[in-house]
Amino acid sequence: MEPILFVVTGPSGAGKGSVMRRLLESAPHLKKVVTFTTRAPRAGEEDGFDYRFIGEDVFLQKVQTGEIFEYEQVYQDHYYGSPRDLFEADFDGLIELDYKGYQKYRARHGRVVSIFLLPPDLEELKRRIVRRSEVENLDARLRNAVEQLSHADEYDYVVKNDNLEACTAAVAELVEVERLRRQGQHDLQVIMRAVARDAAGREPAR
């Protein structure tokens, strides 16, 4: 069956990393697609899981060679990009992308399910951004948050993250629903191919 790419998007501070980490702990059939960034790791972040942390020269070289499929300089400072080799994956993937990356993957990957995470409200979003990062680019992050939110209605699902456990459970249910949808479509195709073969075998000889 064709693998599903689950795309998670949301503004900085929406809790994407926390939700994805908990989801992966409870869903062994999912594999995180690790993206690249030129920024330094934050406290608690793990190279090879949260991101692949690389220098700007290495990043741009990977862009030139095609190893990085799409990229953005999201906050007018560091680069973020995602790998091309995802298209050869034979597993259900979970990837964090902004809306521009989502649009590019949707055009290239066969089966994409998109989930947009909302913060509880704008003030809580501001508090989360200030808590989690250096605030010299706070204005850029807030502008980007508004830009991301303006594209939320393009996604298959929108989930508010005002409680981490409840939000993770909701996303996990969406993942299972989409896997069941794929299984049902696959089973239907198998039966209909058998029906076609049976009908062809019963056609009178001419």
Higher pLDDT, 149 or 87: 149
Here the contacts of 173-179 (C-beta below 8 Å, separation 24 or greater) are 174/113, 174/115, 175/6, 175/23, 175/27, 175/30, 175/113, 178/4, 178/6, 178/113, 179/4, 179/29, 179/92
**Which among 111, 117, 104 has a CA at the least distance from the CA of 168?**
117
Q: CA-to-CA distance for 58 and 75, rounded, in angstroms?
A: 19
Q: CA-to-CA distance for 11 and 188, rounded, in angstroms?
A: 38
Higher pLDDT, 145 or 47: 47
Mean of pLDDT values over 43-50: 88
Q: CA-to-CA distance for 158 and 125, rounded, in angstroms?
A: 16
Q: CA-to-CA distance for 150 and 165, rounded, in angstroms?
A: 26
Q: CA-to-CA distance for 94 and 24, rounded, in angstroms?
A: 9
**Which among 38, 28, 18 has a CA at the least distance from the CA of 80?**
38
**Which among 74, 94, 125 has a CA at the least distance from the CA of 31?**
94
Which domains does the chain show, CATH number per domain? 5-174 (3.40.50.300)
Please, which residues have CB within 8 angstroms of residue 72's CB and are 6 or more apart in sequence?
Answer: 79, 80, 81, 98, 100, 101
**Which among 94, 90, 89 has a CA at the least distance from the CA of 168?**
94
Q: 201 pLDDT band (50/70/90 cuts)?
A: confident
Q: CA-to-CA distance for 76 and 171, rounded, in angstroms?
A: 30
pLDDT of residue 134: 57
Mean of pLDDT values over 22-48: 90
Per-residue pLDDT reduced to its tens digit, 129-165:
777 655 566 777 788 888 999 999 999 999 999 999 9
Q: What is the DSSP string of 89-114?
A: --SEEEEE--HHHHHHHHHHSSSEEE
**Which among 103, 94, 98, 102 has a CA at the least distance from the CA of 172?**
94
